[in-house]
Amino acid sequence: MIKNILIVIITITSLPVQAQKFDKLDKSPMDRVYYPENAAKRTFLKKPEKRKAAEPKIRITYSRPAKKDRKVFGNLLKFNKPWRIGANESTEIIFMTDILFGNTSVKAGRYSLIAIPEATEWTLKLNTVLDGWGNYGYDPSKDIASITVSTETNKKVIEHLSMVLYEKDINVVHPKIGWDTTVAEFPIILK
């Protein structure tokens, strides 16, 4: 009798474990960039002042689609249409301090980052609609700041959408975004 009860208990408790399946790796894996660059690894820094200096000020989370022999800008991504700067979920940018974006003061917080690409320039927008999928949740009335910047042509093809944050000057950080042969960067001024 005890043996039968034990078999029933083991069978019942193991069913949920067997039912769980992991998704396959997404075709556009998610990535994250920080400013300062070593912010994610600051706990490994030995000196407290170095850990303090490495505390994150900006973090961008985005998905990295591949070019796959396609013409990206003007074809896959239509000009003058909003783009989430990635794939899947909207690209998210978090400011841990107040900033200046274009001519607009922006409070520390979490925002979505949208681009409207053109042939030679992009308009980048901060938007308060969060956790959207694709551009479906994008609402232009929720834009809080924007900046238009010229793009550059990269000689080498960038296969996967890539981003980096770097210090251009004291308290001026540039997100640099590259995909295919197009590169755009814009200033964020830390307050």
Answer yes or no: is pLDDT of 56 > 70: yes
Express each pLDDT in 111-138 by its tens digit.
999 999 999 999 999 999 998 888 788 9
Instruction: Report yes or no on 46 lying in a domain.
Output: yes
Say which residue the tokens 């170095």 belong to. 50
Q: Which of 144, 22, 31 is nearest to 88 (CA)?
A: 31
Bond into 36 cis (ω within 30): yes
| pLDDT attached to residue 11 | 60
Could you list the residue range(s) of the whole structural domain that residue 70 is in?
23-190
Residue 96 to residue 168: CA distance in whole angstroms:
18
Instruction: Report yes or no on 47 lying in a domain.
Output: yes
Instruction: Report yes or no on 13 lying in a domain.
Output: no
Instruction: Report yes or no on 16 lying in a domain.
Output: no
Instruction: Report yes or no on 128 lying in a domain.
Output: yes
Instruction: Report yes or no on 146 lying in a domain.
Output: yes
Q: Is 174 exposed, middle or buried (0-12, 13-18, 19+ CB in 10 A)?
A: middle
Answer yes or no: is pLDDT of 97 > 60: yes
Answer yes or no: is pLDDT of 14 > 70: no
Percent of the chain scored above 90 by pLDDT? 70
Express each pLDDT in 162-176 by its tens digit.
999 999 999 999 999
Instruction: Report yes or no on 5 lying in a domain.
Output: no
Number of domains the chain contains: 1
Higher pLDDT, 39 or 183: 183
Q: Which secondary structure element, helix H or strand E, spans residue 10, and what is its range? A: helix 2-19
| pLDDT attached to residue 8 | 61
| pLDDT attached to residue 10 | 62
